[in-house]
Chains A and B, each alone.
Chain A
Amino acid sequence: MRLTVKDSEKCVGCQSCMFACSRLKGEGGLARSSIQVMSIGGMERGFTVIVCRACPDPPCARVCPTEALTPREGGGVELDIAKCIGCGYCKNACIIGAIFWDEEINKPVVCRHCGYCAKYCPHEVLKLEEWGEKKNAPKR
């Protein structure tokens, strides 16, 4: 399963998804949220949602020198935080900006595609969906 942005035009910028991600980690605020909403140059023009799109061959994992980030089955990455040295290569390799940074411990924050945030989107901007081969597989 992967998280997708269905229609960012319906996003009102409420940040409920961002706070949901933090809440899942047992805290308030936004230090360890792995999704972000930002305006596309003034709120009147609407918003864009930045979140990991589960690349099949993730560049962030390719540049990780310690194998802390490894490709995840079905796309995206998994983080072994003990192996991470906080070099920030992954962050630079992700051109959509979906590797977030935990300034409090100087390590990356990556989306696990759990879909918790989507449950708190009041306008169904976000959706958790089947992905890759599974998506095209005939329904049983």
Chain B
Amino acid sequence: MLQKDNLINILYIDLSQKKYWIEKRSDLFEKYLGGVGVAIQILKEECSVGIDPLAPENPIILAVGPLTGLFPLASKTVALFKSPHTGNLGESHCGGRSAIALRLTGYGAIVIKGASTSPIYLAIHNGQVYFRDASALWGMTSSYTVGRIIRQNEPATGLRTIMRIGGAGEKLISYAGVTTETYRHFGRLGLGAVFGSKKLKGIVISGKHSIPLLDKQQYRKIYDHIYKEAVSSPVMKKYHDLGTAENTSPLNELGGLPTRNLQTARFEGVKNISGENLAEGYLGRRLACAHCPVGCIHIAALREPYEDELYFYKTSMISYDYEPIYALGSMLGIAKPEGLLKLIDQIEKVGLDAMSTGVILAWATEAQEKKIISEKETGGIQFSWGDYITYIKAVQFILEQPNQFFKDLSQGVEYAAQKYGGYEFALSFSGNEMAGYHTGPAAHIGFLVGTRHSHLDNAGYSIDQKVLTQQRVKPEALAKMILEEEYWRQILSSLVICFFARGIYTPEVCLEALHNAGYDLSKEELINKGKEIHLEKYRFKVQEGFSLDNYRLPERIFDTPSLIGKIEKDYLKKVIEAVKSEIFSEQKDKKNFELK
């Protein structure tokens, strides 16, 4: 890497002591590039074995990479922490302006330790840290309002990221997220609750440093290649036009769209909530993350009249994507676009993870349908598919927790099902609620073995669609495909490239771009780094109790045919076995993998 690059500076902030300092860690950035590669090393240094995720000892690590601020679509920030939702590795990626602001304020990573006794928010401008009192913001449940106030209170408009939590984070709900720039999120695995446990209401970061590079001519050449691909290649077209919502209809047609708690994988109301319909009827604006010309963020404008006064309207701007459409649309049987948008808006406001919330409400609906729970537990709420008004109310109850049932729902579907029953249709993997793909075995194996139990870990859904629809694959071969994708994604997550650009950032392009940032690596070296980073994450997971010997697969995934037909349980288990031996046989020091 380049000598002058301030990427190697890591900012440490201790909220207990209200102090901060900088450490130069060229060792980490040289060896692990940045992003998740560096962050997992810091997590190992900072997070002791077995700590309570909501204790002050749980660190929050935010990291960017060597290509951030140099190349387009290197536009994501990685957050690592111990997840209060799974009790294991917490990893979440966010766009907006977070990555550019962090890099240009002068750091490669920020580590937040300890906890404040009174509510605060952090302002980091040009590398300088300010502790700001947030007593007036505490108790404010709407993440929109919190953002608006910080926006008015801080400088550097246009150059800043404003990360904040809504009521859900304050309430320590284990799947509360952190919102940035109103519409982007560190959504999964409960970073919002970790913020809340530290009495940290938000972080604003700004800066406009320069970043050195090796060769101006070569830089422009490779930049132009990436830029051109991003704005004109067919693979990126879907993200420009309809956004991720474009997936909804095709996935339904194939029979892979989880519907009504995955009782089926086709939704009869799909047309209404499809990307096409939302764009035609509601699309009000398109937005981009900083330094990404694609602009995949789609914002709906929803105009509603006030019922009590004539000629009074409110227009809400609501961001939609495929995942909320699945989790809050098809999964809950909601076919009315206005209803779906209002529910998304409610979840956005309080700051919950949309996917987890949808899956939890879907379980509750089915559980009530099957009389596992009754109105006695729900406090009079009668869930029913498509009834978005009740779901909006239920989200408010998850936040307010007026009774034991909603208190239980605020801990995730795994917890609720353990207590009330209906475990076989509680759709979570290692405690994380499933993403919107019932495409076949690879998707579900991917959720389970992926280091963050996310569809983005290894894109199993894509292997289902591209490979398994065409041919049967031996368990060992499928295990290899899943792992190899996940290994490579560790490199993208270390640089930190948006996964939408994975088709552009081939190993060759990454190497050329890295050359300009002062890294000279061979393709083999780069790919091996991915494998090593993956192993490091797995070491942490095993240390915290994760095991591929002792796992749960929800029965429902075997009952409902996927787009390649019924999923065979034996086959799935064989693949998981193969994944296990693939990961663990590579490891010389097996002791690190023994359970405590």
Contact = CB atoms under 8 A, between A and B. Distances in A.
Interface of A: 12-16, 19, 22-23, 26-33, 36-39, 41-46, 50, 103-104, 120, 122-123
Contact of A27 (B100, B103, B211, B293): B211
Interface in B289-338: 289-295, 297, 299, 317
A28 B210 contact: yes
B128 to A, nearest CB: 12
Nearest 10 CB-CB pairings of A with B: A38-B158, A28-B211, A44-B317, A14-B288, A31-B210, A12-B295, A28-B70, A29-B211, A30-B208, A29-B210
Contacts of B159: 30, 36, 38
A27 B287 contact: no
A39 B284 CA distance: 15
B285 A104 contact: no
Nearest to B318: A44
B220 interface: yes
A101 to B, nearest CB: 9
B286 A28 contact: no
Nearest to B240: A122
A23 B71 CA distance: 10
B211 A13 contact: no
A39 B220 contact: no
Interface residues of B, number: 43
Given A29-B210, A30-B209, 6 more contacts: A13-B290, A14-B291, A16-B293, A27-B212, A43-B287, A104-B210
B291 A29 contact: no
A16 B287 contact: no
Given A43-B182, A44-B285, A122-B231, A28 B212 contact: yes
A137 B480 CA distance: 68
A16 B211 contact: no
A28 B214 CA distance: 11
Contact of B223 (A23, A27, A29): A23
A13 B211 CA distance: 21
Contact of B157 (A39, A45, A122): A39
10 contacts: A13-B287, A23-B219, A27-B211, A28-B219, A29-B211, A31-B209, A44-B183, A50-B158, A122-B231, A122-B294
Contacts of A23: 219-220, 223
B148 A27 contact: no
A12 B286 contact: yes
Nearest to B317: A44
Nearest to B67: A28
A100 to B, nearest CB: 9
Contacts of A42: 147-148, 151, 182
Contacts of B216: 26
Given A27-B212, A43-B181, A43-B182, A16 B72 contact: yes
Contacts of A31: 208-210
Given A39-B158, A104-B210, A122 B148 contact: no
Interface of B: 69-70, 72, 100, 103-104, 126, 147-148, 151, 157-159, 181-183, 208-213, 216, 219-220, 223, 227, 231, 284-295, 297, 299, 317
A122 B295 contact: yes
A29 B104 contact: yes
A33 B209 CA distance: 10
A77 B285 CA distance: 35
A50 B70 CA distance: 22
B212 A14 contact: no
A37 B208 CA distance: 13
A15 B219 contact: no
B205 to A, nearest CB: 14
Contacts of B285: 44, 46
A37 B289 CA distance: 12
A87 B285 CA distance: 40
Contact of B210 (A16, A22, A120): A22
B208 A103 contact: yes
A27 B210 CA distance: 7
Contacts of A43: 181-183, 287
B158 A29 contact: no
Contact of A120 (B183, B293, B294): B293
Nearest to A122: B293
A34 B292 CA distance: 19
B210 A15 contact: no
Contacts of A36: 158-159
B227 A120 contact: yes
B100 A15 contact: yes
A63 to B, nearest CB: 23
A119 to B, nearest CB: 10
B328 to A, nearest CB: 20
